Amino acid sequence: MAGLTVADRAEQATRVLIVDDDALVRAGLSMMLDGADGIVVVGEASDGDQVCAAVDALAPDVVLMDLRMPRMNGVTATRRVTGRPHPPEVIALTTFDTDENVLRALRAGASGFLLKDAPPEQLVAGIRVIANGDSLLSPSVTRRLIECFVRDHPRAPAAAPQLDELTARELEILGLVARGLSNAEIAEQLVVSATTVKTHVGRVLSKLGLRDRVQAVVLAYETGVVSAGQIAPS
């Protein structure tokens, strides 16, 4: 970025909106992020009901979303943001990594979550990963979160008519993704190329109307495609 003006660097930076009902938390996050190279905090919101207007006005690339707020919680706000045309990425902020609301936020379209007490370097790295279009959570991390939820909140599998649109191979690949296997590991197990697996995964996401692999893992658990007892050890 040598030779660029301050304005140029700001233009190319990842734009972040911070949403939290605690002013001290917002101030702390803003202080940490404004000092990071390639990231600029474009604004703050103190409740979920302010988020959509802030997204329209500020055009953030990434929204850091507190999950527990008094008027509109972060799960509902996430669903509203991700349901809009060309939405920003959402990272859920939580105090506990096994919070049931984290799973709900992932289901609502969040691309991952971070703990509020995460060190600054982890927060910055997470924003950069999301801004690059990658998933902040590996399938194995998502799997552990969901396993904890499934164990503590057992329920019957949800119906998912859209699964009928998948071919037998695509349904098999969905199950392997949910078990935490990478594309390379799936390719090795099925004796096909990684490119073929990538194509199948893309078709699965498209047919199911999912944004990323994280949502695919959530759906697979909720619909009984896989269960906690089927998981291979990490």
Domain match, 70 and 164 both: no
Q: Which pLDDT score is estimated for 5?
A: 44
Can you spell out the DSSP letters for 72-124? Answer: S-HHHHHHHHHTSSSPPEEEEEES-TT-HHHHHHHHHT--EEEETT--HHHHH
Q: Which pLDDT score is estimated for 43?
A: 94
The number of folded domains in the chain is 2
Domain match, 28 and 78 both: yes
16 burial class (0-12, 13-18, 19+ CB within 10 angstroms)?
buried
Domain match, 125 and 224 both: no
Domain match, 38 and 83 both: yes
Instruction: Return averaged pLDDT per consecutive 10 residues of the chain, 234 residues in all.
Output: 46 89 92 88 92 93 91 91 90 76 83 84 87 67 64 64 90 88 88 93 91 80 73 45
Residues 201, 177 contacting (CB under 8 angstroms): yes
Domain match, 130 and 182 both: no
Q: Which pLDDT score is estimated for 219?
A: 83
Domain match, 45 and 82 both: yes
Domain match, 130 and 161 both: no
List the CATH number of the domain containing 165. 1.10.10.10
Q: Which pLDDT score is estimated for 140?
A: 56
Q: Which pLDDT score is estimated for 233?
A: 43
Domain end point (choices 80, 107, 136): 136
Side-chain half-sphere CA neighbours of 14 within 13 A: 26
Domain interval for residue 79: 6-136
Domain match, 22 and 132 both: yes
In a domain, 143, yes or no: no
Domain match, 181 and 117 both: no
Q: Which pLDDT score is estimated for 24?
A: 92
In a domain, 162, yes or no: yes
Place of tokens 């990684």: 194
Domain match, 119 and 33 both: yes
Domain match, 14 and 51 both: yes
Q: Which pLDDT score is estimated for 146?
A: 66
Q: Is the dihedral of CA 12, 17, 23, 29 positive or negative?
A: negative
In a domain, 161, yes or no: yes
